[in-house]
Amino acid sequence: MDHSGTTPIDPRVLEAMMPFLTEKFANPSSIYTEGREVRAALDTARLQTAKAIGAAPEEITFTSGGTESDNLGIKGIALGRKEKGGHIITTTIEHHAVTHTVDYLGENGFDVSFLPVNKYGQVELETLEKEIRDNTILISLAYGNNEIGTIQDMKDIVKLAHEKNALVHTDAVQAVAKIPIDVKDLGVDLLSLSGHKIYGPKGIGALYARKGLKLAPVQHGGGHEKNLRSGTENVAGLIGLGKAMEIGKAGLTTEIPRVKAMRDRLIKGMLAELDDSYLNGHPEKRLPHNAHFRFSYIEGEALLLNLDMMGIIASTGSACSSKSLKASHVLLAIGLTPEQAHGSLRLTLGKGNTDEDVDTVLEAVPKVVKKLRAMSPLGHGGGK
């Protein structure tokens, strides 16, 4: 139940990739027949990727993953402008790939703002409107949050940003193949996506950049990807990404409703079974596969290890499980205290899960929570 962490490669994706890991190894930049054949396959993958989000193929740049896409989108816009400097807005709940990129630009001559969010993890339009300045060049915010699953009102945000002549970049790594995405309908200018979150391979991703935008490359070299991202293409990877995008789009009407039904049952069952338990993130505007809980009086790492012993894989925002020993910045940003953030549990469902898994988790988690609460000096020995 950690599909937001990563996913296994879909067998159909692997099948599509295999020839390019074996006999079809030619460099797509080579002009002989074998090279041209690989180039044609890349073009198909680009088209598949573009079509899945309503973009044109020439608006897609392949990268090494979500992090590089975020770097290229944000730095590319910031450094691609003729005028130096400018103001960039992001939020306090972004993935580190965005936060640290914006921080870096802040250290290098740009003005940066980190917008607070409300208790559901949503950026409020009034807050954003107040923060946009005359020199605001870019607003970067994730479509669906990777921890608590909250979905932003992206269309309204884009409308406001465009009225003020600011561009919008969105990290949609968690949202792609989970909710319908049409870049033209959303209006976003740049969008990051990743392969391994959608049953594709690791080490591949893409950046959508609306036609006409001027971006500076982050990686210089032989001029691949229209000089935006030099380096011989990860051929098998991007063939896999194309296939995964196609399958993911089709799954929005078949697989996702199945996942959402399981997720809804999980949330309902958990909150009914355990008192002093809460759902983090927005109750409705949330990614369909994400359930994020908070249980009082216990700590997440202890919870995770117990679940691991029972064969259940999950994730937490507790400080104790992080290398920095700091609680998740997302949980603190939605107003939780470090102690409250301690007792958090993220369950993200996907293709690997069945109704029986939901039953197992609904039995296991309350059992472990009650066991840990019985040990806790903060009280509450029983649970409901």
Give the residue numbers annotated as catalytic, written as ranges.
Answer: 320
Q: Which is nearest to 204 in space by CA: 170, 175, 245?
A: 245
Taking residue 109's Cβ as centre, other Cβ atoms within 10 Å add up to 10
φ, ψ for residue 297, nearest 5 deg: 75, 0
Q: Looking at this protein, which amino acid is placed at residue 229?
A: R
Nearer to another protein, 118 or 322 (CB): 322
Q: Which of 29, 305, 355, 359 binds another protein (CB under 8 A)?
A: 305
The string of DSSP codes covering 85-134 is --EEEEETT--HHHHHHHHHHHTTT-EEEEE---TTSPPPHHHHHHH--T
Return the number of the residue (60 or 319) whose C-beta is nearest another protein.
319
335 part of the interface to another protein, by CB under 8 A: no
Question: For the window 25-44, what string marks contact with another protein as x by the rule CB under 8 A?
Answer: --------------------
Separation CA 63–CA 180 (nearest Å): 22
- Rounded to whole angstroms, how far apart are CA atoms 251 and 316? 27
Please report how close the Cβ of residue 117 comes to another protein at its closest, in angstroms.
23
Write down the least CB distance from residue 267 to another protein, Å: 25
Shortest reach from residue 312's CB to another protein, in Å:
14
Distance, CA of 97 to CA of 119 (rounded, Å):
23
From candidates 82, 134, 325, 382, binder to another protein by CB under 8 A: 325
Q: Does 212 bind another protein (CB under 8 A)?
A: no
The nearest distance, CB 320 to another protein, in angstroms, is: 4
Q: Which of 55, 297, 328, 369 binds another protein (CB under 8 A)?
A: 297
- Residue of 2, 103, 339, 357 interacting with another protein (CB under 8 A): 339
Residue found by looking up tokens 């990404």 in the block: 241
Q: Is residue 2 at the binding interface for another protein, with CB under 8 A as the rule?
A: no
User: Where does this chain touch another protein (CB under 8 A) — which range of 3-11, 37-45, 78-86, 305-313?
Assistant: 305-313
* Residue 318 lies near another protein (rule: CB under 8 A): yes
**Are 344 and 294 contacting, i.e. CB atoms less than 8 angstroms apart?**
yes
Residue from 125, 250, 272, 378 binding another protein (CB under 8 A): 378
Is 306 near another protein (CB under 8 A)?
yes
Is 370 a binder of another protein (CB under 8 A)?
no
Q: Is 250 in the site for another protein (CB under 8 A)?
A: no
Closest CA to 231 of 241, 240, 221, 217: 221
Task: Give one word for 235, left, alpha or beta, with left for phi > 0 and alpha for psi -120 to 50.
Answer: alpha
Question: In angstroms, rounded to a whole number, what is the distance separating the alpha carbons of residues 236 and 27?
Answer: 11
* H or E element in which residue 264 lies: helix 255-273
Given the complex with another protein, which of 135 and 376 has the nearer CB atom? 376
Residues that bind another protein (CB under 8 A): 297-299, 301-302, 305-306, 309, 318-321, 323, 325, 327, 338-339, 342, 374-378
